[in-house]
Amino acid sequence: MKKYIFLSIILFIGFSCKGNEPDPTPKPPENNITSLKQAPFPIGAAVNVDALKNDNEYRQLLIDEVTSVTPENAMKMYALSSGRGVYTWDDADYLVNFALENNMRVHGHTLIWYHSNGWWIENTFSGTKEEWIAVMREYIQDVVTHFKSKVTAWDVVNEAFNDDGTYRPSIWYDNIGEEYIELAFRFAHEADPDAVLFYNDYGQEYSFNKIQAINTMVDTLLAKNVPIHGIGLQMHMNINSSETKINYAVNSARNLIVHISELDVSVNTENNPDATFNDELAQLQKNVYKYATEAMLNVNEDLRYGITFWGITDKYSWRSSAPDWVLPFDADFNKKPAYDGMLEVFNQ
């Protein structure tokens, strides 16, 4: 009997050990990603709707590479509204449908921006403070309601501060006062309580005054229970942008959700009309893309909204005053070192 028990134990140990033998087909480490679509947070692009309609290669690149889209211009006030209560949704709807068909998140940009008001409101509207508040409410709520349940989040207010931290003049600031910001967030939230609401601005990576102004505003809004959930850092940078300052800027969003919302990195810093792109510049650019990626990766998982490029290919970029190569894909849709740099960050 003892002999059988002994044998059973030996057999049992034998089988258990076999179960622990290494799997002969090695699997790649879990973090060995080969496409930005596999990144641990959404990677997005600002989308040019004309190109989306007319350039199949561009369309396919977006499908292959991004999980989030922001309309570059199609949801700006001048693009959506040609008069009070008069709307043209076609381009914005086209983009939203494209995104949803391809399982992409849609980031709404932007409800209130001094630079993109409709012509009619800049030039034909006048009224008391209450009338300005009413027209702002109407606009925000019409737009947010139209895209409700399709658009995940909104840049509710864009670029409210100057670089020195003072409020930037605009029809909204001039007619309503700084309260316009608080009201814009409340109105957007009323129209879609599920939407994630962002304040978006540029220059946090070089202007400490702007960071302070934003933080003071956010603290004041939160103390009044204003529904503000996230901070967008545009990060239109160049090859000299500092890693320390990029980190500082991303961390300055503190306990709100963080979005690097318009990333691009200029290599032609002097706007030289005869500039050309070369390997050395590509490497410097790659470094800055890596800094931004690392900074976002270090954000607490719950607060990482992701990184959106302002475009995707150098074929279509808003930085066109001089030749430049600001995006992670070149004009022929090939990956640049910047792209590989981001993968390196995720795979390290």
Chain-centre distance for alpha carbon 47: 12
Residues 302-321, interacting with ligand XIL (CB under 6 A):
318
Q: Is 175 in the site for ligand XIL (CB under 6 A)?
A: no
Q: Does 72 help bind ligand XIL (rule: CB under 6 A)?
A: yes
Q: How far is the CB of 204 from ligand XIL (least distance, A)?
A: 13
Nearest distance from residue 273's CB to ligand XIL, in Å?
A: 20
Is 178 a catalytic site residue?
Answer: no
**Cα–Cα distance for residue pair 97/92, rounded to 1 Å:** 9
In the set 65, 72, 159, 294, the catalytic residue is 159
Give which of 124, 51, 31, 18 is closest to 312, Cα–Cα.
51
- Say if CB 131 and CB 237 are below 8 A apart: no
> Rounded to 10 degrees, what is the CA torsion of 96, 100, 104, 108?
30
> What is the closest distance, in whole angstroms, from the C-beta atom of residue 161 to ligand XIL in the complex?
13
Footprint of ligand XIL on residues 113-142 (CB under 6 A)?
none
Residues 215-234 that bind ligand XIL (CB under 6 A): 234
Site for ligand XIL in 245-274 (CB under 6 A): 262
Cβ-based nearer residue to ligand XIL, 182 or 262: 262
Cβ proximity to ligand XIL: between 206 and 340 the closer is 206
* Binding test (CB under 6 A) with ligand XIL, winner from 68, 152, 158, 204: 158
Q: Which is nearer to ligand XIL, 203 or 337 (CB)?
A: 203
Neighbours of 325 (CB within 10 A): 24
Asked if residue 183 lies in contact with residue 129, where contact means CB atoms within 8 angstroms, the answer is: no
Q: What does the alpha-carbon distance between residue 348 and residue 337 come to, in Å, rounded to a whole number?
A: 16
Smallest Cα–Cα separation from 251: which of 295, 302, 198?
Answer: 295
Choice among 65, 182, 205, 262 that is catalytic: 262
Q: How many residues bind ligand XIL (CB under 6 A)?
A: 6
Dihedral sign, Cα of residue 119, residue 120, residue 123, residue 126:
negative
Which residue in 337, 347, 348, 346 sits closest to 43, CA to CA?
A: 346
The nearest distance, CB 258 to ligand XIL, in angstroms, is 16
Residue 91 binds to ligand XIL (criterion: CB under 6 A): no
Which of 73, 141, 238, 242 lies at the binding interface for ligand XIL (CB under 6 A)?
A: 73
Closer Cβ to ligand XIL, 49 or 297, answer by number? 49
Structure tokens belonging to residue 262 = 């318009």
Tell me if residue 262 is catalytic.
Answer: yes
**Which two structure tokens, joined as six digits, stand for 242?**
């500092």
- The least distance separating ligand XIL from the CB of residue 321, rounded to whole angstroms, comes to 11
Half-sphere exposure of 332 (CA within 13 A, CB side): 2
DSSP secondary structure string for all residues of 302-321: GGEEEEEESSSBTTS-S--S
Is residue 141 helix, strand or coil? helix
Which amino acid makes up residue 1? M
Shortest separation between residue 20's beta carbon and ligand XIL, angstroms: 55
Q: Which is nearer to ligand XIL, 87 or 318 (CB)?
A: 318
Which residue numbers are catalytic? 159, 262
Residues in contact with ligand XIL by CB under 6 A are 72-73, 158, 234, 262, 318
